[in-house]
Structure 1
Amino acid sequence: MTNKLILVDGNSIAYRAFFALPLLNNDKGVYTNAVYGFTTMLLKVLEQEKPTHMLVAFDAGKTTFRHKTYQDYKGGREKTPTELREQFSILRELLDAFQIKHYQLENYEADDIIGTVSKQANEKGWQVEVISGDKDLLQLVSDHVQVRLTKKGISDMMTYTEETLQEDMEITPDQVVDLKALMGDKSDNIPGVPGVGQKTAVKLLKQFQTLENLYDHLDEVSGKKLQEKLADNRDAAFMSKELATIDQTSPIEVTIEDTELTDYKDQKVEKLFKELGFQSLINRVQGEETQEDTQKLTDISFEKVEAIRTDMFTGEDAFEIEILGDNYHTEEMVGAAISNEKGNFFIPIHLLETSDVFRDWAADASQKKYVFDAKKIFVLLKRLDIDIDGIVFDTLLASYLINPSENNHDIPAISHRMGETNIHFDEDVYGKGAKKGLPEEESSWQEHIVRKTQMIYLLKDQMQQALTDNKQLPLLLDLELPLALVLGKMEATGVKVDKSRLTEMGKELTEKLDQLEKDIYELAGREFNINSPKQLGPILFDELGLPAIKKTKTGYSTAADVLEQLQGQHAIIDKLLLYRQLKKLDSTYIAGLSKVIHKDTSKIHTRFNQALTQTGRLSSIDPNLQNIPIRIEEGRKIRQAFIPSKPGWKILAADYSQIELRVLAHIAKDERLQAAFKEDKDIHTQTAMDVFHVTGAEVTSNMRRQAKAVNFGIVYGISDYGLSQNLGITRKEAKSFIDRYLTSYPGVQTYMKDIVQEAKQNGYVTTIMNRRRYLPDITSRNFNQRSFAERTAMNTPIQGSAADIIKRAMLELDKQLEKHQYQATLLLQVHDELILEVPEEELSAISELVEEVMSEAVELSVPLKVDVDYGDTWYDAK
């Protein structure tokens, strides 16, 4: 068998991977995008090429022997970004885990190492493949040596042989250095002959073959100007050839025998992948990407129970119910399991429904239960008419609090992150996409459910310790976990929707859209497809003569930000923006909400995402009720369809007034801001007075509008550019406004500086209840990334604390409703607002209770103000 050697230009591939992929980092904030891209390339090569030998060559430093010839060699290159430089040590660690030889040589480049090793292998008749992004290496192409060059990123490569090199560039491998000598290379700062580009250089080489022959016959070159350029730059041309020539006799201390590949230890690679957060690559380290047995697991024993017995429980038990989809309100339950110190038990779903033993255990608060996603378990059991109490730990919520930036919190992913690898990922067992389903062999998926339950049991102590170390255990046990059960009740209750009102609104919107279409056609002068940017662009920018702000590959951009910049320049713009808004309302909300109304209850059962946002805010899905647009009246009217579930009841809405600004006043300890809230002043009018140095009577509506923009902008770390865009003023005016604001509120200015410094020191910021958000980019040398992290550092303690406060209010309100046995029911939470349905006779008491509970949820240095109102629909409860 012929030996096959792969030679990789480590610096080139890492560099291209870094710029091809967005900045990625693991849960410790370590940058990994270059390593990830390099690794995908490496795995692909190992899987497809199956080499016998491999070497990755790196540059040793900035200076090489070429600098003696030309001091400015590679001069002008931008400094390697710190975010990339930090990844080279991880790359070497990765190669060590794969047992792949890597090498660098002082005073030489990776090209020289590759050239020398490829020459050795070529002389022995080995098959050699070089992988790089550097065209210099094309000079190595021969009968036995191929060069694969990256074209775009690192996934798209072109393989060069002598034939393809001739086809693509019309030169031979020997002419690569002559080409460089003539046309130069900006990236390496090789001068070449000024004014000679690739086309001219190729033409000359076709005629004269070599640089030397060209200069021997310079008088035969057609064109006097070209002759003069070549003559004047003879020394530069020959120096450029010397610089571009790879040294194939460099004094390396590595031989081709040293590059032999051996079987790497899967465990080392897997462990490193877990540390780096490369979950999606773990399945590939066995060699085949789609093999069935991606990982050998230690055997696990379990009993498939035929009847649920009291001796299965210990008083500290992990419990799980498996569904294959996400929506636990509708998905079929496929199995359940118990895991504890006695062992593991698989339970068919029908036994849960019929077993009094299980019902008693589930309802017994003294029986401690560890689960994954308490809300899911609560709702699934509620579907079986079973109550559950005694949940004392939730693996999902614990993982979310420990790693809020992690986007995968399922049990296998958490387990692998925590070092417990005796479990497959769900897709390895069930498949994914359209092929997802239960395997034919029952024991395989039953065992998987048991393994997941066992992991809940095994991970509990480790995760609890991590939370304790972070001083976050109270955040889990006193806030998030009890809140999960409140949210579960809200989801199970659902909110009633008047489908006929939705249908009526749909008709109203259709009429408005029809009229808008006619208006737009009239303003455009002809009919066209309003939804087609290809048709709209020429009308706006060619026919109507509006200034083209942005172009795409396919023509003019007609994106929302472009249209917004054109407002006021033509009547058609406002019509187009309104048309798009109404169109989205119709398709997303009128039609969308109608599809998710439960056929039996006429209710919508949204799911609250409790472990998603990094600030701690809740979001909702299926449908998303938090994004109903309320800035336009047509959007607000959608709330008319949300009604009480019983006749004679009302919808009550309670909304925190300017909670984030109040939290800012508390955290920043700004006396003037605090005084405004304590005295119940209109904060935007007060800010206008302070910034413009006027009396309250002198504050104009425009002043108040500007003050409002900067008030809320400051909360989000707004820049002068952002404020200028919001207010339609110049950046200079916006900067002046922000400066005056910060002068007026020095406590806010101090907070902004201090919180950024704190984030740089700790790597994270916290809320008033110790929720963390990690900010690895806070020390980035990339201005945009660092600036975003700084704004996030300023905002998260404010927005996150506001989220904590309303969660605390929800818990207390639920307790009070139960304690006083009110019929009123909590239905929804939308940002800073709580929605309830209330019988008419309880309206007065509930209004007082809700206001009291929300305003006293936490004690701040400023009062929390709550606006309460009610009506026949959510819309009426303004």
Structure 2
Amino acid sequence: MAQQQRLFLLDAYALIFRGYYALIKNPRVNSKGLDTSAILGFMNSLLDVIKRENPDHLAVAFDNGGSKDRLAIFPEYKANRDVTPEAIKVAVPYIKEILKAMHIPIIEVPGFEADDLIGTLSKQAEKENFKVFMVTPDKDYAQLVSENIVMYRPARMGNGIEIWDVEKVKEKFEVDHPEQVIDFLGMMGDAVDNIPGLPGVGEKTAKKFIKEYGSMENLLAHTHELKGKMKENIEANKEKGLLSKQLATIILDCPVEFNADNYILEQPDVEKTDALFIELEFRRMKEQFDKIFASKNQATTSNSAIGVASEAVPASEDQLDLFGSAAGSTSPSPFQTLETVKHMYQLAQTPMAIRLLAQQLLQQQSVCFDTETTGLDPLTAELVGLSFSFEKGTAFYVPLSANKAEVLETLAHFKPFFESETIEKIGQNLKYDIKVLKQYDIHVKHPMFDTMIAHYLINPDMRHNMDVLAETYLKYTPQPIEELLGKKGKNQKTMREIEVELVKEYAGEDADITFQLKQEFLPQLEATATLELFNNIEIPLVSVLADMESEGIRLDVDFLQSLSTTLDTDIKQLEQSIYETAEETFNLASPKQLGDILFEKLKIGGPKPKKTKTGQYATGEEILSELAPKHQIVADILNWRQLIKLQNTYVDALPKQINPTTNRIHTEYMQAVAATGRLSSNNPNLQNIPIRTERGRLVRKAFVARNEDYLLLAADYSQIELRIIAALSQEPNMIESFKNGEDIHRSTAARVFNVPLEEVTKEQRSHAKTVNFGIIYGVSAFGLSNQTNLTRSESKELIDTYYETYPKLKDYIATQIEFAREYGYVQTILGRRRYLKDIHSQNAVVRGAAERNAVNAPIQGSAADIIKIAMIRIHQRLVQEQWRSKMLLQVHDELVFDAHKDELEALKTMVKDEMERAFTLEVPLVVDLGTGENWLQAH
């Protein structure tokens, strides 16, 4: 008897959306700024099916214009759906081109949805004795399942597939036969498709009704058996129930015809597919694709999903660990070895093995290393071991004793390697390892290569942690740390408690993968012209930040406790005032209660206050800020929120973050977070300390000098972003003002309001300042009117006059946007790129945001580049010239130093000189200096 032929029908949009959202936190953006997440996700699903199943027949179905039949009976069908993401709109034409090049049929009929097309074809193919696999994650397809039609549900991240056959559907939905899934879906409705369902009926109740009544119609015929509110709801909504069942029913008579000959999976046009993969920058997919189809003719159907039911099928061989599973025997060499076909991670723990490894490291040009520690805080964590890799697939792990004297004795062998100025040290987030080793008197020296920083320059909008990078670039999923230590919480083990053989595999893998990532990223840095920026700015900065973070800053805890007490009093006074106006007490932190008080009881905000999607009144800051000038209670609420946030986030939180050993605060600088190139800080976040309110500024008073021999020195770039935009745009009027040392805002006001410089009013200067900074962020007339007391027409007139005054600036903005449209990115003065994937978006709001970024990113990014240059040069001099003064903080355009009083004047001269000479622009860079016992005085 001939073997039953198999037909695979893929629901295109279900797989496209699934692939896109699986990567939503880690979008795949290529060098042209194109978000390829949806294409990659769909193609991974398609190729997985082909590789896994070697199908005889295959086709892909697309929605086209929605369901005309469903919309005819219910115009609100799918009305709640969000606008299709731009990345998916862009992806579909590429996917169709790839399918055409693969000679895979595209099934698409205007007015019909993919599930209807697949349902119709499935039933036709079943009659021709085909086994049909509906490839989709959409549970609605369960209604179609029969003896020869199954659902083939891909799992995420290569974790196999699930087959839903008749028994699986019966188990999942608790039905007697799959057709009852229609009744189940009709009863409970579907918020995504806007199918109303029966009021008050959820999944649990729907299953109960199916068991008792079998169908929607039978339930509606026996509503007299129901009780209470449920009976009332269902009897009042019988028509809605029947409508919902009709909407949930997959149509089986679409105008499509199954012709087996048209669906045969043929060999692709590899020349065309290769060209598309190259254009999309899918290098690894191209290799995988060519490999699959080169061997397809020799494949058998032994891995077919036929007969598999109710269980996940394991991933295919290529989706298993890149290095295989550990198996083997101990080597007789000085290294204890666990070897496999794909990798060899060795344990070096005898004195001879340690000496040999240390000697071997000194003979290399480039070595990847990683530290294993007892915790995440590098200033308190203890070393548990070191791993090294200098060849793909191999690594060495050196376990370290809990005895610090023994650790120092072992580390002495590796100190020459770490402190070598010729051997390149590779790592992922090297700053952490540098700080850990510094506690053991090891000073890691350049040259270095940090894969996290490299990827940040290559693709700044992606995530940069090692697991993501391994999955993206090596198609390999590393062992999760939780698998080794257990889930986070009090029962999680430390690395020291884990068996050394297991740690060796984990640590060796980290070093090996990072070594391989370096080989991936170096050519990409060259291709994106960011290698010089990487070598000259970002990598030297790693050591600078490590020293600054290790240094920390002293905190005046007594002052913060006093400030907290004052805030307590003020918060209670505000609460009392708010309750008196409301004539009742309520939970101020509850948006619902607050909304009811303001908009129901007090009738603030006009006849139609804005509501959220959940039906509650909107009480966000933007809403309340508009109402505050006219309503004291709203002003009090905003003030209350500010004081609560200040107290919780800084005043009460900062003392808890003092390091018990150093008695100082040690913020962590995030070098690979902000896409603009700016540094951000964490634990605590010093970038967000409020400075616009008097109370907010007081927090800076808590940051104090080291001791009575020191003062804090603050050095701040004056209007650096305006100076950069003047230089980049070559705007002569702005350049002249800066060269003459004029107040740029007063100068701008004089020009746009056509008055002498000395006659500019305070209000005119304020408006000019708003426009000056607003232009960088693409301010509109509407935005300007909201920020000033100008009307919208006055704002438009002011902006128009501004551009007439500074015509080169307007030209520059247009040029930047045009550059972004042509190349997909913009860049800073040092070549730092910001990719703008939405620059061609059909959505005007989305495209407008990208256009504003095209103007703003080079300015913010160039300011970031300049202050980084200054930090590197200043740090170099502080170290080489052995100053007692130290650089402590970087916040926006400001640097803060612990300045020894004996060095103060010399330090001021040196810092000002290095900052102002960091980069030569058409306009001078100017630095303002201030000193004081605390940061507030110095600033």
TM-score by length of 1: 0.77
Name the counterpart of 2:805.
744
Q: CA deviation at 1:857?
A: 1.1
Name the counterpart of 2:377.
327
Tell me, in whole angstroms, the C-alpha distance in 1 between the residues paired with 2:594 and 2:62: 52
Q: Does 1:793 align with 2:854?
A: yes
SS in 2 for 1:529: coil
For residues 769-848 of structure 1, what are the structure 2 equivalents within 5 Å?
769-848=830-909
For residues 555-570 of structure 1, what are the structure 2 equivalents within 5 Å?
555-570=616-631
Tell me, in whole angstroms, the C-alpha distance in 2 between the residues paired with 1:656 and 1:571: 38
SS in 1 for 2:465: coil
Q: CA deviation at 1:274?
A: 6.9
Tell me, in whole angstroms, the C-alpha distance in 2 between the residues paired with 1:167 and 1:388: 64
Q: CA deviation at 1:851?
A: 1.4
Change (3 A) 1:53 1:723: farther
Tell me, in whole angstroms, the C-alpha distance in 1 between the residues paired with 2:265 and 2:926: 73
SS in 1 for 2:751: helix
Q: Which amino acid aligns with 2:92?
A: F
2:527 to 469, 474, 480: 469
Q: Does 1:116 align with 2:103?
A: no
Name the counterpart of 1:494.
552
Can you list the C-alpha shifts for 1:45-89, whole angstroms capped at 9, x where unaligned?
99xx999999553259899999xxxxxxx9x99999874354236
Q: CA deviation at 1:292?
A: 12
Contact 1:9–1:56 (CA under 8 A) maintained in structure 2: no
SS in 2 for 1:836: strand
Greater Cα offset, 88-97 or 720-729: 88-97
SS in 2 for 1:551: coil
Can you list the C-alpha shifts for 1:480-514, whole angstroms capped at 9, x where unaligned?
11111111111111101111111111111111111
Q: Does 1:246 align with 2:253?
A: yes
Change (3 A) 1:85 1:521: closer
For residues 144-293 of structure 1, what are the structure 2 equivalents within 5 Å?
161-166=178-183, 246-247=253-254, 250=257, 252-254=259-261, 287=314
Q: CA deviation at 1:105?
A: 7.2
Name the counterpart of 2:576.
518
Name the counterpart of 2:210.
none
Contact 2:716–2:894 (CA under 8 A) maintained in structure 1: yes
Change (3 A) 1:294 1:360: closer
Q: Which stretches in structure 2 are left out of the alignment for 5+ residues?
A: 70-76, 154-161, 163-168, 188-194, 196-215, 222-249, 267-276, 287-310, 325-341
Q: Does 1:84 align with 2:88?
A: yes
Q: Which amino acid aligns with 1:584?
A: K
Tell me, in whole angstroms, the C-alpha distance in 1 between the residues paired with 2:776 and 2:653: 33
Q: Which amino acid aligns with 2:120?
A: G
Greater Cα offset, 768-777 or 107-116: 107-116
Name the counterpart of 2:397.
346
Change (3 A) 1:613 1:4: same
Tell me, in whole angstroms, the C-alpha distance in 2 between the residues paired with 1:41 and 1:708: 53
Q: Does 1:392 align with 2:448?
A: yes
Q: CA deviation at 1:716?
A: 1.7
Name the counterpart of 1:26.
29
Tell me, in whole angstroms, the C-alpha distance in 2 between the residues paired with 1:390 and 1:490: 17
Contact 2:6–2:133 (CA under 8 A) maintained in structure 1: yes
Q: Which stretches in structure 1 are left out of the alignment for 5+ residues?
A: 67-73, 150-154, 171-178, 180-201, 208-242, 260-267, 277-283
Q: Does 1:304 align with 2:348?
A: yes
Q: CA deviation at 1:785?
A: 2.0
Change (3 A) 1:520 1:91: same
Greater Cα offset, 138-147 or 796-805: 138-147
SS in 1 for 2:344: coil
Name the counterpart of 1:373.
429
Tell me, in whole angstroms, the C-alpha distance in 1 between the residues paired with 2:567 and 2:183: 63
Q: CA deviation at 1:429?
A: 5.3
Q: Does 1:578 align with 2:667?
A: no
Q: Does 1:531 align with 2:536?
A: no
Q: CA deviation at 1:331?
A: 3.6
Name the counterpart of 2:438.
382
Tell me, in whole angstroms, the C-alpha distance in 2 between the residues paired with 1:715 and 1:709: 10
Tell me, in whole angstroms, the C-alpha distance in 1 between the residues paired with 2:473 and 2:44: 24
Tell me, in whole angstroms, the C-alpha distance in 1 between the residues paired with 2:94 and 2:832: 30
Tell me, in whole angstroms, the C-alpha distance in 1 between the residues paired with 2:118 and 2:544: 64
Matched residue count: 776
Contact 2:6–2:55 (CA under 8 A) maintained in structure 1: yes
Contact 2:456–2:464 (CA under 8 A) maintained in structure 1: no
Q: Does 1:364 align with 2:367?
A: no
Q: CA deviation at 1:749?
A: 0.6
Q: CA deviation at 1:463?
A: 2.8
Change (3 A) 1:873 1:340: same
Change (3 A) 1:875 1:132: closer
Q: CA deviation at 1:729?
A: 4.1
Contact 2:426–2:514 (CA under 8 A) maintained in structure 1: yes
Name the counterpart of 1:595.
656
- Report % sequence identity: 33
Q: CA deviation at 1:388?
A: 2.5
Tell me, in whole angstroms, the C-alpha distance in 2 between the residues paired with 1:396 and 1:52: 40
Q: CA deviation at 1:872?
A: 0.8
Q: Which amino acid aligns with 2:569?
A: E
Q: Which amino acid aligns with 2:530?
A: Q
Q: Does 1:714 align with 2:718?
A: no
Q: CA deviation at 1:528?
A: 1.8
Tell me, in whole angstroms, the C-alpha distance in 1 between the residues paired with 2:396 and 2:183: 67
Can you list the C-alpha shifts for 1:165-203, whole angstroms capped at 9, x where unaligned?
357659xxxxxxxx9xxxxxxxxxxxxxxxxxxxxxx99
- Superposition RMSD in Å: 4.7
Q: Which amino acid aligns with 2:180?
A: E
Tell me, in whole angstroms, the C-alpha distance in 2 between the residues paired with 1:256 and 1:605: 64
Q: CA deviation at 1:321?
A: 1.2
Contact 1:295–1:424 (CA under 8 A) maintained in structure 2: no
Q: CA deviation at 1:572?
A: 0.9
Q: Which amino acid aligns with 1:477?
A: N
Name the counterpart of 1:263.
none
Can you list the C-alpha shifts for 1:381-434, whole angstroms capped at 9, x where unaligned?
111222222333222222221221221232x43344444749556566556544
Change (3 A) 1:808 1:784: same
Contact 2:57–2:264 (CA under 8 A) maintained in structure 1: no
Q: Which amino acid aligns with 1:349?
A: L
Q: CA deviation at 1:142?
A: 8.4
Q: Which amino acid aligns with 1:550?
A: K
Name the counterpart of 2:719.
658
Can you list the C-alpha shifts for 1:424-474, whole angstroms capped at 9, x where unaligned?
565665565446865954323312322322344444454333323333222
Name the counterpart of 2:611.
551
Q: CA deviation at 1:764?
A: 1.3
TM-score by length of 2: 0.73
Greater Cα offset, 124-133 or 113-122: 124-133
Tell me, in whole angstroms, the C-alpha distance in 1 between the residues paired with 2:844 and 2:697: 39
Q: Which amino acid aligns with 1:397?
A: I
2:824 to 742, 749, 763: 763
Tell me, in whole angstroms, the C-alpha distance in 2 between the residues paired with 1:655 and 1:782: 39
Q: Which amino acid aligns with 2:377?
A: N
Tell me, in whole angstroms, the C-alpha distance in 2 between the residues paired with 1:164 and 1:769: 60
Can you list the C-alpha shifts for 1:590-613, whole angstroms capped at 9, x where unaligned?
121111111232201111111211
Tell me, in whole angstroms, the C-alpha distance in 2 between the residues paired with 1:112 and 1:867: 69
SS in 2 for 1:528: coil
Tell me, in whole angstroms, the C-alpha distance in 2 between the residues paired with 1:760 and 1:707: 30
Q: CA deviation at 1:245?
A: 7.5
Name the counterpart of 1:280.
none
Contact 1:122–1:145 (CA under 8 A) maintained in structure 2: no
Tell me, in whole angstroms, the C-alpha distance in 2 between the residues paired with 1:327 and 1:400: 23
Change (3 A) 1:520 1:79: closer
Q: Which amino acid aligns with 1:588?
A: T
Tell me, in whole angstroms, the C-alpha distance in 2 between the residues paired with 1:817 and 1:564: 46
Tell me, in whole angstroms, the C-alpha distance in 2 between the residues paired with 1:726 and 1:428: 52
